[in-house]
Amino acid sequence: MKAIAINGSPRKGWNTEKLLKEALRGAESVGAETKLVQLYDLNYTGCKSCFACKRQGAESYQCALKDDLAIVIEEIFNADALFLGSPIYFGDITGQMVCFIERLGFPLLSYDDYTKRLFDGKINAGLFFTMNAPEAFYKSNMEQSLKNRAGILQRLGGTVEVYAAHDTYQFSDYSKYHTGIFDEVHKRKVREEQFPNDMEAAYEIGCRLTSLNNKF
Ligand SMILES: Cc1cc2nc3c(=O)[nH]c(=O)nc-3n(C[C@H](O)[C@H](O)[C@H](O)COP(=O)(O)O)c2cc1C
């Protein structure tokens, strides 16, 4: 079994990567080989609308563009579980993650029939969001549109789960930055009391989504 995590945060070792690493630890606990990909280390673009994936006779569920994402996408189609992690920037996933999803997702979509599945395998997918927003704001203003982001992942044929971690700790030392809109004491409390629960949830999602594909 294989599980791949894609970090859509430019900050290595921070909230998003921490959750993804827990998901991978969960995947390892059920016997998977794992890999973490840092999107911000790669040179790639979003979809260039070349339509190679829609050509008569050459329709493919894999993007034809040959840049640093090509090998990553190839590996994803040989995996059992895929974990995507993104911080929320201006109410949405990061630009790098948008481009990644265009490249993974557009070739999965048939222009003959939206209901047709081009990829007939099964890859279970977990989508992890981290954000400054507290849970109530996420639920009322962001949850639905962010869950829609997971829609294209349904075309991977597996189970899709979405998890959001709220009120994340953003600076290692709040006193060194202009952070007047944040209550650092509250943020620290969330980091100490809630974030460990988020990590545990990520671990469990990692176990669950990977073991769903265990044929033994
Ligand atoms: C450019 C930028 C825009 C952001 N916009 C939002 C936002 O709209 N809503 C929000 O809740 N948090 C926002 N944040 C905060 C991050 O989503 C949050 O700190 C996240 O947990 C960072 O993930 P990381 O620690 O893995 O980098 C923004 C951060 C940056 C740098």
For the chain, the average pLDDT equals: 96
16 lines ligand 1 (CB under 6 A): yes
Cα(214)–Cα(62) distance, integer angstroms: 24
- Ligand 1: residue of 89, 97, 130, 177 to mutate (most ligand atoms within 8 A of CB) is 89
Q: 130: Cβ below 6 Å to ligand 1? A: yes
Percent of the chain with pLDDT over 70: 99
The confidence band for 60, taking pLDDT boundaries of 50, 70 and 90, is confident
The atom of ligand 1 lying closest to the CA of 132 is: 11
Residue 214 pLDDT > 80: no
- Distance from the CA of 15 to the center of ligand 1, in angstroms? 10
CB atoms within 10 A of CB 176: 8
How far apart CA 197 and CA 107 sit, in angstroms, is 36
- The encoded tokens of residue 90 equal 């201006």
pLDDT digits (tens, 9 = 90+) for 149-203: 889 999 999 999 999 999 999 999 999 999 999 999 999 999 999 999 999 999 9
CA of 42 to the centre of ligand 1 (A): 21
Model pLDDT, residue 149: 87
CA of 88 to the centre of ligand 1 (A): 5
Neighbours of 181 (CB within 10 A): 6
Please name the residues in contact with 215: beta carbons below 8 A apart, sequence gap of 6 or more: none
With a cut of 60, say whether residue 215 has pLDDT above it.
no
Query: Which residue has a Cα nearest atom 18 of ligand 1?
Result: 131
* Nearest atom, ligand 1, residue 165 CA: 21
Verify whether ligand 1 is closer than 6 Å to residue 114 (CB atom): no
Binding site membership of 133 for ligand 1 (Cβ less than 6 Å):
yes
The confidence score (pLDDT) of residue 59 equals 76
Cβ atoms of 26 and 207 closer than 8 Å: yes
**End-to-end CA distance of the chain, in Å?**
11
* Tens-digit pLDDT profile for residues 1-37: 999 999 999 999 999 999 999 999 999 999 999 999 9
pLDDT at 136 > cutoff 90: yes
Decide: 86 in ligand 1 pocket, CB within 6 A.
Answer: no
Instruction: Judge whether 99 and 43 are in contact, CB under 8 Å.
Output: no
Q: Is the CB of 12 under 6 A from ligand 1?
A: no
Class of domain 2-211: alpha beta
